């Protein structure tokens, strides 16, 4: 090529390159991550997700990622594990150590005590919606434990206080509206929570027709949500992670004991009942209470908080009562009035809160969306692994070391 031809082509080449550069975003202008929808069906067991009973979840799992199961943190209760899922920390670290707690400075915490649930001082870790809001991302939460409180000065952009009377269908529609908003108003992170399966499983047992009906209702609501996303051409452009907090075990008639049979009422304050029973002995009765409680009993076992099984990683937080008793699978410990009420209305019931290592306590995991390989399966995982996955999906780095993301490497797109 002669010099004259090079001189003629040079302006054209430079113009072409400049035009190309003008249409290429700079490396710093990264595209926003797809919206992430985190769904929880409280108390949903992995074996409940079948083609016959929950066809919408079954199809979502088959098209995306279907987990064999997920081990909850100890104790395998609702609030501790929902908060673990969105913080990556264990209950003994984030402070929601039970559904019922006492704190020397804050007083009493109960699920139905709204002033406590909405007090950010109870919630001792940074949930994903706070991290997202700090990063300038919009978030929206429908009934996730912790989302009603101001934590570290932040709240979700949209957050509705829990209302058990709202239907599963209404909840699905509300979230579909949020995700279907214009791009400049659409949340980057959304949560959706269903509680009716848990209630029916407690009252009638997890294998009851009532629990099955609630599972089918939740599945139908999710099917409606998926169809709305499909109609909006969003189903394959957002990431969905569906989880539960724990599994369920049957509690046959007669397998309930009164707490005052474990220890006389005037020997200790009873901090929690159910399956993880917490006692704070009166100072003058500490020795007698320990002698009475500590060790193995016919349907439960008790420890000092500092001597709990190491694998539970539980007992260091100051809110954990001095003595913790763990009920055996299928047994409840309740106030005498509740025991007597059950005796008048005997029947199969259900509970969780048992040893997280039990297969009956396993929670569910499903994932679907552009971040995930299709038609994939995952072996049993720990629920602490979910948090770093969620952070990655919205384009954020966890504020602390967490290797749980490696769990999902086989099912994530390159």
- pLDDT, residue 8, reads 38
| Residues in Cβ contact with 266 at an 8 Å cutoff, skipping those fewer than 6 apart | 282, 285
- pLDDT at res. 28: 36
Tokens 């913080």 sit at which residue? Answer: 87
Q: How many CA atoms lie within 13 A of 205 on its CB side?
A: 13
Element (H, E) at 150: none
* Distance of alpha carbon 93 from the chain centroid: 16
Return the SS3 of 333.
Answer: strand
Taking the alpha carbons at both ends of the chain, their separation in whole angstroms is 43
Residues of the chain under the 50 pLDDT cut: 1-29
Quick one: pLDDT at residue 399? 75
Residues 6+ apart with CB under 8 A from 299: 255, 257, 327, 328, 331
Q: Are 317 and 95 in contact (CB under 8 A)?
A: yes
Q: Which two tokens stand for residue 256?
A: 């309930």
- Separation of alpha carbons 209 and 200, rounded Å: 9
Q: What local confidence, expressed as pLDDT, does residue 9 receive? A: 37
pLDDT tens, residue by residue, 224-254: 999 999 999 999 999 999 999 999 999 999 9
**What pLDDT, on the 0 to 100 scale, is given for residue 21?**
36
Please state the pTM of the whole predicted model.
Answer: 0.91
CB atoms closer than 10 angstroms to residue 37: 26
């Amino acid at each position: 090529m002669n010099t004259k031809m090079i001189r003629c082509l040079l302006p054209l080449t430079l113009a072409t390159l400049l035009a190309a550069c003008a249409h290429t975003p700079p490396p710093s202008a990264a595209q926003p991550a797809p919206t992430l929808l985190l769904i929880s069906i409280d108390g949903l067991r992995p074996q409940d997700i079948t083609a016959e009973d929950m066809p919408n979840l079954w199809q979502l799992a088959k098209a995306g990622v279907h987990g064999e199961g997920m081990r909850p943190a100890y104790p395998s209760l609702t609030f501790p594990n929902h908060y673990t899922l969105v913080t990556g920390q264990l209950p003994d670290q984030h402070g929601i150590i039970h559904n019922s707690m006492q704190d020397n400075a804050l007083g009493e915490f109960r699920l139905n005590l709204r002033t406590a649930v909405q007090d950010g001082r109870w919630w001792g870790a940074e949930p994903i919606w706070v991290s997202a809001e700090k990063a300038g991302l919009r978030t929206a939460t429908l009934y996730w434990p912790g989302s009603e409180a101001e934590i570290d000065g932040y709240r979700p952009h949209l957050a509705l206080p829990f209302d058990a009377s709202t239907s599963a269908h209404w909840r699905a529609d509300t979230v579909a509206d949020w995700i279907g908003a214009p791009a400049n108003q659409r949340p980057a992170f959304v949560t959706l929570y269903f509680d009716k399966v848990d209630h029916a499983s407690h009252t009638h047992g997890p294998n009851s027709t009532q629990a099955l009906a609630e599972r089918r209702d939740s599945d139908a609501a999710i099917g409606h949500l998926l169809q709305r996303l499909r109609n909006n051409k969003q189903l394959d452009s957002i990431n969905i992670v569906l989880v539960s907090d724990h599994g369920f075990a049957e509690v046959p008639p007669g397998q309930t004991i009164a707490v005052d049979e474990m220890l006389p009422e005037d020997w200790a304050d009873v901090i929690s009942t159910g399956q993880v029973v917490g006692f704070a002995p009166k100072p003058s009765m500490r020795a007698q209470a320990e002698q009475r409680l500590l060790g193995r009993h016919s349907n439960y076992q008790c420890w000092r908080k500092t001597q709990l099984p190491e694998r539970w990683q539980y007992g260091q937080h100051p809110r954990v009562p001095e003595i913790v008793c763990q009920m055996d699978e299928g047994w409840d410990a309740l106030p005498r009035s509740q025991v007597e009420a059950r005796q008048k209305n005997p029947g199969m019931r259900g509970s969780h809160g048992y040893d997280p290592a039990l297969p009956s306590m396993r929670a569910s995991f499903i994932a679907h969306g552009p971040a995930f390989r299709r038609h994939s399966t995952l072996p049993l995982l720990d629920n602490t692994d979910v948090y770093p996955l969620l952070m990655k999906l919205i384009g954020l780095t966890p504020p602390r070391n967490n290797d749980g993301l490696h769990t999902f490497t086989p099912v994530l797109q390159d």
